Structure 1
Amino acid sequence: MSERLRGFARSMRKAPTKAENMLWQMLRGRKLEGLKFKRQEPMGRYIVDFVCHEKRLIIEADGGQHCESASDRERDLYFRSKNYRIVRFWNDEVERDSDAVALHIIKVAKDE
């Protein structure tokens, strides 16, 4: 993994979006069902918003720039080939109904 990618991930951790911050407050310190998540984690040539390696689960908080994104489809295929599941939430969905988001993450994590 390149130093450039690591540095970019570090800068992303320092300046999260509102939705990313809300998700992190929900996921950090094993608050959600005891699952350990990392944030802005470099994986391969990508940086994922949140990942639980134990459950092979990636959580993404997406803004409008991700709508119908070919690069997101390519990225998802890459992670699926590595046996990771990807769950995407729209930023406004996280901000509007974080309880439903948390319940959905728990459900997906338990559906191994």
Structure 2
Amino acid sequence: MKKDNPYHDNSMWKGAQSEIFKREENLRNYPTEAEKLLWEKLICDPFKTYHFRRQHPIHHFIADFYSHQLKLVIEVDGEYHESSEQKIKDQTRTELIQFQDINVIRFTNQQVIQNMEKVLKIISEKINS
């Protein structure tokens, strides 16, 4: 059972180390255009009640957006995520985050920039499911 597993952590940060917190501060200060646009939506109704956080440390990773209340990570991926090597890393990362009982949704920068309405609909559907 996961709850008996020493690698399963119920805290908001899932065992993140201090180095991760230093990196998240830098990422928070230099968001991508897509991250800025999505953040503007997540801090307003109807999403603000879920208290999303930007560049939130989880385990060995930094999630672009995280709601501890929903146990939901939203990732916004740039072009470098298209390489086969990065896709493997992203899959491993997703599995490790899901192991902590957290759902993960991924969008590309292009999806966020070009079709925000669809992105928000997908997020809403995930929240309501």
TM over 0.5: yes
Question: Percent identity of the aligned residues?
Answer: 27
Tell me the residue number matched to 2:29. 14
Tell me the residue number matched to 1:85. 103
For 1:80 and 1:4, the matched residues in 2 are separated by 22
CA contact (8 A) 1:30 1:36 kept: no
CA contact (8 A) 1:61 1:88 kept: yes
- Consecutive unaligned residues in structure 2, runs of 5 or more: 1-15
Q: How many residues align?
A: 111
For 2:72 and 2:97, the matched residues in 1 are separated by 10
For 2:77 and 2:64, the matched residues in 1 are separated by 9
Tell me the residue number matched to 1:97. 115
Of the candidates 33, 39, 50, which is equivalent to residue 35 of structure 1?
A: 50
CA contact (8 A) 2:17 2:59 kept: no
- 1:29 positional shift: 5.2
SS in 1 for 2:49: coil
For 2:88 and 2:20, the matched residues in 1 are separated by 21
- 1:32 positional shift: 1.7
Cα-Cα RMSD: 1.4
TM-score by length of 1: 0.92
Which portions of structure 1, spanning 4 or more consecutive aligned residues, are displaced by more than 6 angstroms? none
Of the candidates 46, 67, 71, which is equivalent to residue 89 of structure 2?
A: 71
For 1:25 and 1:43, the matched residues in 2 are separated by 22
Say if 2:66 is the partner of 1:48.
no
Change (3 A) 1:55 1:94: same
- Consecutive unaligned residues in structure 1, runs of 5 or more: none
- 1:80 positional shift: 1.1
Tell me the residue number matched to 2:76. 61
